[in-house]
Amino acid sequence: MAIDVNSEDGLIIRKLIPLGTLPCAQFSALCENTVIEGTRGGTLFKKGDTDPRLIYLLSGEVTLQAEGLIIEVIAAESEAARFALAHQIPRKIDAVANGVVRFLRLDADTVNNPTPLDYKEDNSYMVIEEPEDDPNDWMTALLKSPVFQRLPPANLQKILITLEEVCFDEGETIISQGDVGDYYYLIKSGYCLVSRKPSPNAKDIKLAQLGKGEAFGEDALLSGAPRNVTITALTNMVLLRLDEQHFSSLIKEPSLKFIDQAQMQEVLNQGAILLDVRSQDDYKAGHLPGTINAPFFSLRMQLKTLNREQPVVVVCDNGKVSEAAAFLLLRHRFNALILKGGMNGSAAKPEVKKVPESEHETAHFVIDDGIETLISSVDESRPQNRQEQSGQILSAADSGAPEDQLRLMKSENEALRRANLQLNDKCLKLEVEKEEVLRQYRILQKQMEKLTQMLGKAKGDQGVL
């Protein structure tokens, strides 16, 4: 009998790993062609069995044992039951039903080779929905992450086994800017604040607020650089952390994709974007033709300017910062590729475009408030300055003094560069302030709704009296 995707069994199957990442149509087809089996006691499989079908427990308990020694008891309500029971083929242990159990037998190809993540915006793609009556289901929220959707089921299982639970009190600092990277963190419950100091004596700039199912801490592990932000607990928090070694082998290696120079040229010919994530000064000193400069520290603010329809090839000096940038892009559903070894790598030594100071290319990124970060004037609020400087250059040219002309052009270019940096910084701060205002607005809106409900209830009580 076919399984109704909206039935209680269908909702349970949605949470099985990695079935919850299947497209809606494929998930529905699987339910239509799958039969739920049941048994009262007995053996589900024995050590040495080679049946390639994998077994998922839906209800009841199963004991995993070897030569009479109990290894583990799996209950259908446990997190372990989201994975296939002892999935290695041939079987290494026995699985014995404890009383009445219900289970699925599924083809291993369906389970281990789910459809790759589609990077197009499609709200109907994911079939996982967080139930309203299960607010603490952090794993469901975690599996919505595009990074975790790319991981093999075996890696997901190893991650959950390896994760270490740690707790932090409200106001406690979880990681500090400048620290050495040691762990990758997943939020099981609670909220935290991401902030950064542009300079040691500057005030903290609030960048984001993170909650259940979100992750942080990968930048330092990928780039090898110190922590670039501070994370502070806004509430009491429960976190799950993974050390650097396991992060690299279980998440980084299967997630990131590297290409050489020849492959890069091929994808560029097909319409990919070439993104240089080095600082503006390094970019100006030399860069690949056709690149867009988006320094890694500000990339989060510029994601909305990129097109998810186009692959993004990430470039830096040695590939390390590119790894962190590509991981960020993957988290936001971009198809990110990394130039192997970076611009200085032995595997790819592309011809670097050196440009005169007056001809530097700069990215044209548009922030949400409509202000373009590249402004072609020194100070738009004082147009007379631009006219005066332009007049000086024209005068120098007319007078036949090329050295004066070059000096004035360099002077104006440097002034433009400084103004552009200042405007970039201002736009970033405005974006952060906007996010904070929106957050406060949402909080006030919820409080207003509660007050309205309380007022309505009070009026109703008075009417009864």
- The CATH number of residue 317's host domain is 3.40.250.10
Quick one: which of 108, 110, 228, 248 has its CA closest to 177? 228
Q: Give pLDDT, residue 396.
A: 37
DSSP state of 107: -
Please indicate, yes or no, if residue 221 is contained in any of the structural domains.
Answer: yes
Q: Are residues 79 and 95 in the same domain?
A: yes
Are residues 191 and 218 in contact, defined by beta-carbon separation less than 8 angstroms?
A: no
CATH code, domain carrying 239: 2.60.120.10
Query: Across the chain, which distance is largest between two alpha carbons, in Å?
Result: 101
| Domain end call among 308, 329, 359 | 359
Q: Are residues 244 and 317 in the same domain?
A: no
| Domain end call among 203, 220, 252 | 252
Q: What percent of the chain has pLDDT over 90?
A: 21
Please indicate, yes or no, if residue 353 is contained in any of the structural domains.
Answer: yes
Please indicate, yes or no, if residue 185 is contained in any of the structural domains.
Answer: yes
Please indicate, yes or no, if residue 394 is contained in any of the structural domains.
Answer: no
Q: Are residues 63 and 82 in the same domain?
A: yes
3-state SS assignment for residue 4: coil
Q: Are residues 171 and 219 in the same domain?
A: yes
Q: Which residue has the higher pLDDT, 34 or 410?
A: 34
Q: Give the pLDDT mean for 76-99.
A: 85
Q: Are residues 165 and 71 in the same domain?
A: no
Please indicate, yes or no, if residue 80 is contained in any of the structural domains.
Answer: yes
354 pLDDT band, cuts 50/70/90, is very low
Q: Are residues 196 and 288 in the same domain?
A: no
Q: Give pLDDT, residue 169.
A: 95
Q: Are residues 159 and 245 in the same domain?
A: yes
3-state SS assignment for residue 193: strand
Q: What percent of the chain has pLDDT over 70?
A: 72
- Separation CA 60–CA 340 (nearest Å): 49
220 contacts: CB under 8 Å, gap ≥ 6: 179, 180, 181, 226, 227, 228
| Domain end call among 252, 274, 295 | 252
Using only C-alpha atoms, what is the Rg of the chain?
A: 28
Please indicate, yes or no, if residue 40 is contained in any of the structural domains.
Answer: yes
| Number of structural domains found in the chain | 3
Judged against a pLDDT cut of 60, whether residue 369 lies above it is answered with no
Q: Are residues 28 and 108 in the same domain?
A: yes
Tokens of 422: 């200042």
Q: Which domain holds residue 64?
A: 8-115
Judged against a pLDDT cut of 50, whether residue 400 lies above it is answered with no
Q: Give the pLDDT mean for 150-172.
A: 86
Judged against a pLDDT cut of 70, whether residue 465 lies above it is answered with no
Separation in Å, CA 91 to CA 46, 50, 88, 95 = 7, 7, 6, 9
Stretch (H or E) spanning 106: strand 94-106
- Separation CA 206–CA 177 (nearest Å): 13
Q: Are residues 284 and 243 in the same domain?
A: no
Q: Give the pLDDT mean for 68-90.
A: 83
Quick one: which of 423, 419, 395 has its CA closest to 408? 395
Judged against a pLDDT cut of 70, whether residue 53 lies above it is answered with yes
Q: Which residue has the higher pLDDT, 334 or 134?
A: 334
403 pLDDT band, cuts 50/70/90, is low
Q: Which amino acid is at 290?
A: G
Tokens of 223: 């780039």
Sign of CA dihedral 277, 150, 115, 9: negative
Q: Are residues 268 and 355 in the same domain?
A: yes
Q: Give the pLDDT mean for 269-276.
A: 91
Q: Give pLDDT, residue 305.
A: 81
Quick one: which of 176, 184, 194 has its CA closest to 222? 184
Q: Are residues 234 and 330 in the same domain?
A: no
365 pLDDT band, cuts 50/70/90, is very low
Q: What is the dihedral of CA 203, 208, 209, 215, to 10 degrees?
A: -120
297 pLDDT band, cuts 50/70/90, is confident
Please indicate, yes or no, if residue 351 is contained in any of the structural domains.
Answer: yes
Q: Give pLDDT, residue 239.
A: 93
Which of left, alpha, beta for 171 (phi over 0: left; psi -120 to 50: alpha)? left
Q: Which residue has the higher pLDDT, 288 or 138?
A: 288
Q: Give pLDDT, residue 173.
A: 95
Judged against a pLDDT cut of 80, whether residue 155 lies above it is answered with yes
Q: Give the pLDDT mean for 337-346.
A: 81
Please indicate, yes or no, if residue 129 is contained in any of the structural domains.
Answer: no
Q: Are residues 272 and 193 in the same domain?
A: no
- Over residues 214-248, the pLDDT tens digits come to 889 998 888 888 998 899 999 999 999 999 999 99
